[in-house]
Amino acid sequence: MHPHHSSRPALPLPASRPCDTDRVRYLHLVAAARASAVRPASRQQIADIVRVTVDDEVDTSTFRAIVSDVATDTLR
């Protein structure tokens, strides 16, 4: 017997909304704290920390801005 298929149309997926600025600020602080604790030696290591922290929640330009800011503070 075949599974029953509803005649109702599927509900549309919610539109992706722009990343909330408070969320970006929070992710930035978490990435900075992690980088400070690890004390990375290169910009690539910082980018890896930020990538894990933001987990696709921000766009590319925001990602780069966070990496740049954390690198400036961490690689002094």
What is the span of the domain harbouring residue 67?
21-74
The answer to the question of residue 35 being in a domain is yes
The whole-number pLDDT of residue 10 equals 56
How do residues 43-61 score in pLDDT, each as one tens digit?
Answer: 999 999 999 999 989 999 9
Please count the structural domains in the chain.
Answer: 1
Evaluate whether residue 57 is within a structural domain. Answer: yes
Is 42 a member of any domain? yes
Asked if residue 27 is part of any domain, the answer here is yes
Rounded to two decimals, the pTM is 0.72
Structural domain includes residue 15: no
pLDDT bracket for residue 76 (50, 70, 90) = confident
Burial letters for 47-64: b for 16+ Cβ neighbours within 10 Å, e otherwise? bebbeebbeeebeeebbe
Residue 5 makes CB contacts below 8 A (sequence gap 6+) with none
Residue 69 lies in a domain: yes
